[in-house]
Amino acid sequence: MAKATKVNHPIISSYLEDFARNYGISKNKAKDEHALFEKFINDLILKVYGNDVNANFESMETGTAFGIDGVAIFVNDRLIESEEDFDYICEHAKKIDVNFIFTQAKVSTNFDRTQIQDFFMGVLRFFNLEKCEINELKDQWEISKYIYNKSNKFKELPSIDLYFATLSNNEIDFKDIHMKSTLDKGIHDLINKVMFNDQRISFKPLGLKKIMELYRKLDSNLEIKFNLDKQPVPYPIDPTKKVSSGYYGLIRLESLFDILTDKIDGEIKLKKGIFEDNIRDYLGSDDNIDVNSNMTKEITGSKAHLFGLLNNGITIIADDVSIVTTEATLTNYQIVNGCQTSNVLFESRENINAENIYIPIRLIGTTDEETKHAIIKATNSQTSLKPEQLAALKIEQKDIEEYYRVKRIRNKFDLYYERRTEQYRNEEIQKIKIINIPFQIKATSAMFLDLPHEVSGQYGKVEKSTRGKMFQSSDYLNVYYVSGLAWYRVDAFIRNTEEGKLFRRARWHIMMLFKYFIESQYLDYTDLEINKNAESVSNKIEKILLDDAQSTQLIEQAVNTIKDYLEENGISDISEDRKLFERKETTEGLKSFLVKSNDRVTQ
């Protein structure tokens, strides 16, 4: 085993300490700060440069792969972990935008040219789609090959970003002839693959200053100041005090761009994170999307000055809206209506020639979750919403959140339900103890509906499999709470033990087995539902999972059962078949194995 490495820089070391605490990484695991630094960098890159709030740094990990510490594949801003994820996104998009991200993190105090050369070489070897040259990256390689086989869906050739992080006090020396030669050759070799958009191939060095800059960007409140130019009209005071302030006005296009965009590495990018509560995904503006295509023609045409009169505008909800004369300040804001308009304006910004374009804007200040959901639902009422988007707006979500709160007090065990993205942004809560809606759906589906084989990847796909089976009433809330609790326990086990790491792909099956260990008669049920039977067994599982030692024993029992099942079926290395736990046959086979095991015990 490699010797554990310490990070000597005090600020970075404090970042790593916070990171380990947030994700429940044990002190023993956190001793190797080099390995922790790799995870931290992957997490930082996903949060700053990615737009999928459900993307997890563990999905990027590459083990001992040559020259590469992290790989992420994004399609239309969603992290792709399987061919099925890719197909699901393609079902809902005419064209796709693909972005590959690679990382390499070193705790050395300089930018080592040889290490950078190895980084480029590893990426080049990865994109030999004729043969997988780096076995540790076989999963990501197969997905990449699958994506390129569907290249007729590309808007344009994929982009690729390479992030190389070190603890160097100095910036990389681009004037050094040897370093420049290494970088030029690496970029040139990628261009010669003719697999990427030449204008969207980038190598981004991250030294100490850059890492701290990116971290501060994560840690700051989402706040913006801008000028409305025209005096806005205030809404009447809300007698219930749920809405602290509301305004209707016009915003100059240039000021709107201040709200919509951010400058990262000198490049203007759309803040897509501010659309997370907007329950419509961006549809694109190609000719097949009539509404957005027409908007593009309007804003870039000769009658662009009329755009604001022909458009419904933007609705923004913020925790706080403060306006002095025409200067507005928004804190923790999100665009809840106007996703399509915002994206079209951003994509068309270089082709807009008209001046004095104003866009209608509504600014609503409220921290009341029920009011926010009512506004989201009302402002998107004319749009056909996906069922998985509607799930987030169900009244049962509020009941589940409240149930988690009650359990937190009663059990003296911290676990939080996140109905709204970044709901706990400004609170000191470990991220591992926050269960959001996608993970709630996955955990409950796996644990009580026996669908562990279907819950990997995009949760919209999971919702389709469980439609009508969850969030139908508030009668059996403990089922949801215990599913979240089980997810927390299993995730911590996988993150902090070597055996857990080996069985990461089986984590949903581990959770499924819990109820069968507690009540073997569950194996006789053919039509699983969220009902009184599920509620009853959830109460028994809860008592075990609230105890550290008993929960570990329960997880180890599940792991050993899976091991025995695999051994009986002649499977010695689960890493050789990455789809093993994505097949229904594995789930059914595991349940049949339990039945046979129980029969042997009773004979």
Q: What is the pLDDT of residues 444-497, one digit of tens each?
A: 999 999 999 988 766 666 767 777 778 888 889 999 999 999 999 999 999 999
How far is the C-alpha of 500 from the C-alpha of 338, rounded, in Å?
44
Cα–Cα distances (Å) from 212 to 1, 34, 43, 50, in that order, read 30, 17, 14, 18
How far is the C-alpha of 509 from the C-alpha of 561, rounded, in Å?
10
3-class SS at 329? Answer: strand
Specify the pLDDT at position 603: 44
How far is the C-alpha of 286 from the C-alpha of 270, rounded, in Å?
18
Specify the pLDDT at position 549: 96
Specify the pLDDT at position 372: 81
3-class SS at 317? Answer: strand
Q: Is the dihedral of CA 15, 20, 26, 31 positive or negative?
A: negative
pLDDT exceeds cutoff 50 at 2: no
Burial of 504 (0-12, 13-18, 19+ CB in 10 A): middle
Quickly tell me which residue has 């927390």 as its tokens.
488
CB contact at 8 A, 509 and 590: yes
Paired tokens of 525: 């049920």
How far is the C-alpha of 202 from the C-alpha of 211, rounded, in Å?
17
Specify the pLDDT at position 288: 43
**Which range has the top average pLDDT, 104-113, 255-264, 273-282, 307-316?**
104-113
Confidence grade of residue 276 (pLDDT, cut at 50, 70, 90): low
How far is the C-alpha of 145 from the C-alpha of 230, rounded, in Å?
52
Paired tokens of 349: 């910004």
Q: What is the pLDDT of residues 544-555, one digit of tens each?
A: 999 999 999 999
124: left (phi over 0), alpha (psi -120 to 50) or beta: alpha
How far is the C-alpha of 482 from the C-alpha of 132, rounded, in Å?
41
How far is the C-alpha of 330 from the C-alpha of 224, rounded, in Å?
5
CB contact at 8 A, 145 and 86: no
Q: Is the dihedral of CA 19, 23, 25, 27 positive or negative?
A: positive
3-class SS at 552? Answer: helix
**Which range has the top average pLDDT, 31-45, 344-358, 362-376?**
31-45
Confidence grade of residue 428 (pLDDT, cut at 50, 70, 90): confident
How far is the C-alpha of 506 from the C-alpha of 556, rounded, in Å?
12
Element at 434 (helix H, strand E): strand 434-436
How far is the C-alpha of 558 from the C-alpha of 513, rounded, in Å?
6
pLDDT exceeds cutoff 90 at 54: no
Q: Across residues 553-576, what is the average pLDDT?
A: 92
Q: Across residues 69-82, what is the average pLDDT?
A: 93
Q: What is the mean pLDDT of the chain?
A: 87
Specify the pLDDT at position 291: 63
Q: Across residues 177-184, what is the average pLDDT?
A: 96
**Least confident span in 125-139, 260-274, 336-350, 400-414:** 260-274
How far is the C-alpha of 260 from the C-alpha of 394, rounded, in Å?
28
Confidence grade of residue 287 (pLDDT, cut at 50, 70, 90): very low
Specify the pLDDT at position 424: 80
In this prediction the pTM is 0.81
DSSP of 361-415: EEEEE---HHHHHHHHHHHTTTSPPPHHHHHTT-HHHHHHHHHHHHHHHHHT---
Half-sphere exposure of residue 100: CA atoms within 13 angstroms, side-chain side:
27
pLDDT exceeds cutoff 60 at 390: no
Tell me which DSSP letter residue 429 carries: -
Paired strand residues for 361: 249, 314
pLDDT exceeds cutoff 60 at 343: yes
Q: What is the pLDDT of residues 392-402, one digit of tens each?
A: 556 678 889 99
Q: What is the 3-state secondary structure (H, E, C) of 124-184?
A: HHHCCCCCCCCHHHHHHHHHHHHHHCCHHHECCCCEEEEEEECCCCCCCCCCCHHHHHHHH
CB contact at 8 A, 581 and 509: yes
How far is the C-alpha of 498 from the C-alpha of 23, rounded, in Å?
17
CB contact at 8 A, 413 and 421: no
Q: Across residues 288-300, what is the average pLDDT?
A: 74
Specify the pLDDT at position 468: 77
Specify the pLDDT at position 326: 82
**Which range has the top average pLDDT, 263-267, 370-374, 438-442, 527-531?**
438-442
How far is the C-alpha of 332 from the C-alpha of 320, rounded, in Å?
7
**Which range has the top average pLDDT, 89-98, 343-352, 475-484?**
475-484
**CB burial readout 337-358, b (16+ within 10 A) else e:** bbbbbbbbbbbbbeeeeeeebb
Specify the pLDDT at position 7: 87
Quickly tell me which residue has 């740094």 as its tokens.
57
Specify the pLDDT at position 590: 94
Specify the pLDDT at position 281: 56
**Least confident span in 374-383, 489-498, 562-571:** 374-383
Specify the pLDDT at position 496: 93
